[in-house]
Structure 1
Amino acid sequence: MIEQAPVEPAQNRWQPVIRNTAYILGALLIFLFALNLMISSLQYLGKDADDLILQTTANPFTALFIGLLLTALIQSSSATTTMAVALVASGSMSLNSAIPFIMGANVGTTITSTIISLGFITKKKEFRRAVATGTYHDFFNILTVVLLFPLEYYFGFLSAIANYVGTTLFHEPISNSSENFSLLGWGGDSIIKFIITTINNGFVLVVLSVVILFSSIIFFRKVISKTLGFGQQEKFQHFFFKNSFKSFGWGLLTTAIIRSSTITTSLVVPLVAKKVVKLKSAQPFILGANIGTTITAFIAALFNSNAAISLAIAHFLFNAIGVIIFYLIPLVNELPGKLADGLGRLTLKYRLAGFLYLLLTFFVVPFSLIYFNKDAVRVNELTYSYQNFVTQQNSSYNIVAKTYPHHAFSNLMVYDRPSKNNQPNKILTVYRRNNLLLINNDLFELNRAGFCRDAEDENGKFKICILEVLPSLTLSSGLKADSVFVFEKQWYQPERVDSTRVRLYISAALNLQVKKEKLSTGGHLLEQELLTSLNPK
């Protein structure tokens, strides 16, 4: 008589699915809660913390290295990219500063697979294959940084595209912080307000939010890894490496679900080392994982400010462009693999070569770049006075200007009205190309006196002319601006604006507006804004 195995009740079969689904949703909610708490905490820190973050990340090389080192230390690019989104959303970091930080995170996350590959040092043949696999991810990201970082540094390549896409999708200018920012609705906001009120310490709040955020990511990974059975390498190999397209797709999908390219790429190292999978078959999986890891930034930015969404777009573009160039273009696509294989062969001959590579890539080279580019960015604090001669109202506002001496771009963080969190009310981008100066959406053509052109803004059509070009202009005691172009802006329908004429004093030497005047029909001065101080930080 044949005994039948007991049939597991359907209810029992569904219990793990329901339990794991609940765990996943819970981890996601905790993740969003921690992100919201982090943004609120960063805003709570105030202007001093903003200035510190601004100065720290002002140098793109410094921002690149901070992203690299932080990710290497905590072994999670998901956490560091989420932090970057929070910093941008809170107004503490501009998009242009956050992009190098994200690039560094992309390189930093590869250190895990490299360290795992060095664990095969006692097994000669496996060691070569392991190092080649572990460092393929390194070389892909390093080459992508080498290609895109100069384009971003000199031309704002990624930030310009990300800004354009973000503005196109949301039909409004890119902005940073929002007074009514909310991820979880009224209930979540109430809890966060209670926590902030109770703790009442910005630094402690930030640390708490980071701990909760990191814990939620780790918990999420463990649940997903257990659900998908990633501990079984045979299952991993059978499903994910049948062909390049499938391998790429699975790398993207699994990493997007787990939110960790560190785990998925690290799992590939022993598979290739033991000849379960060939390196060529594993390459598309690693590249897919690189794309999949960008999902975290999108989740974090989804309910966020447009600038944060633009950062998520820039993160995706960085990885996507890298895949297109270093995988799809013939000849170039062999470069990461050849470099990785070459290093693998070198480590086979000289075992310490792998450790030397690790030291140089993640420590010596970044620190050297920081040292030799320590003067690449200048940060100045500008103070402007405002006078209304009609109402007799006087006030002032500050701008933190980050200028690149050899760069076409600069950023202006404007603190133009009181804020309980001292957050910048807006971040302006300044672009200078020959005799063209673009301050956000305002274009100034630095031409001869008498030059005029027609243009249009939200107030209607206007004519803008250069009245005169001053060799220098005294602004206040001890402060002068050189090469000042005096523009006059006059609308064709003056009833649509507060005054009929506006005079703008633009310094070609500083790439700044140093003075602004509003005039009545009779030429009487109604309002004036004047640069009164410029101090390096």
Structure 2
Amino acid sequence: MGANIGTSVTNTIVAVMQAGDRNEFRRAFAGATVHDFFNWLSVLILLPLEAATGVLYKLTHLIIKSFNIQTGEDAPDLLKVVTDPLTRSIIQLDKSVITGIATGDLEARNKSLVKRWCKTKTNMTFWNATVESCPAGAVCWVEGNQTWTEMNTTWTEYLEKCKHIFVNVDLPDLAIGLILLALSLLILCTCLILIVKLLNSMLKGQVALVIKKVLNTDFPFPFGWVTGYIAIVVGAGMTFIVQSSSVFTSAITPLVGIGVISLERAYPLTLGSNIGTTTTAILAAMASPGETLANSLQIALCHFFFNIMGIILWYPIPFMRVPIRLAKGLGNKTAKYRWFAAVYLFLCFFVLPLAVFGMSIAGWQVLVSIGVPIVTFIIIVIIINVMQSRCPRFLPKFLRNWDFLPRPLHSMAPWDKMLTSSMLFCGRYCCCCCKCSNCCRKDEETEKISKTSRKSLEMYDNPAMSTDKDTAENVRATQL
């Protein structure tokens, strides 16, 4: 469940790469966070259910018992042929040390994970020696008054060193790990920026209109409802091919941002991607050794059925497609206050998991006593928000809005003013902060553009409905 949440951070980072254009950012961030909301809401419902009933454990245990699956040799990996030459030239790890640590071997903890020698030879020498008493399990014989036994010793002959960057580096594993972490994050962010730039440059003009019509077209009545389920199958199939839900969702996020895919169509594609990514774990589990096959396959099936149950909860009934509405609201908020995207990433993927992890270490009593009131409070606030917008007459007068609270507790405007002033953003308050001569003029031009492109801003709910005239207005506004 935690892995499901963590894997959605990549496409959220991709959406941040489109923060330069407010309208694209609005759509892209909504398209990325719809995956986050689906995972968070599914965990919020299914984790307590699993803790109370063990439904996933019992279901997968029954399935494992009903099949007689034979073990394989190697887990299939369609991308290993491409990635292995590159990764082996950067770093190679000693799998025997990893196995030793996993199985609790104390000696393995003091060994380095970095593989230095790729070709070794183990030699063994035998000799006879006298002993006072025969060791258990040894072959012994008596000659005269002496007891003899066969002794042996082994040593490793190192023949050929590995050929990776860190083979001759005299650094501890922690330092090498931190270097690789920084390098991988740099490469990740660079690739994500290039993906966004490439898709933005390729899918413009008439090409975008054609793709938009094809991807967002529904089946004719009365089979329109089938379209979303076909999108789920397509998402699962594409994710199985690339063997990564992060890659697939990161690829469609820029398409949502530029308006090629609507949020309503991206949602089932994302759900299908969640199913497709579980097939890799299932295939890997089926290739496990016989003694661990049942447990590893059961974990993989738990991942699969967790996503299936999540889809059953949040997709078939249109009213229950809550992640779409939440993602739209968050997209609007982050388009208005773009700094909130960084706050969202920090809170949802660092602070919150760390807090839950800390409370769980303290014990389930601490977790429940702190977590339940917080979740209850959040649910109450959400219910009041919904009632304020739809049926305020059923609320007491003081709850019909949040004005009775201090403004920083119900509005981001004070925080926005503080952040933009402190970071010297040349934006809404640039005339006061930056004091640059062109800022005010740019603000006036932005106001004029916003009037002409207001209709375009509203089209992010369904960009497939935007016309050629809307696209032309967007082009003129961008050129201005």
With the length of structure 2 as denominator, give the TM-score of the two structures.
Answer: 0.46
- Report which of the two has the higher share of strand: 1
With the length of structure 1 as denominator, give the TM-score of the two structures.
Answer: 0.41
Greater RCO, CA 8 A, separation 6+:
2
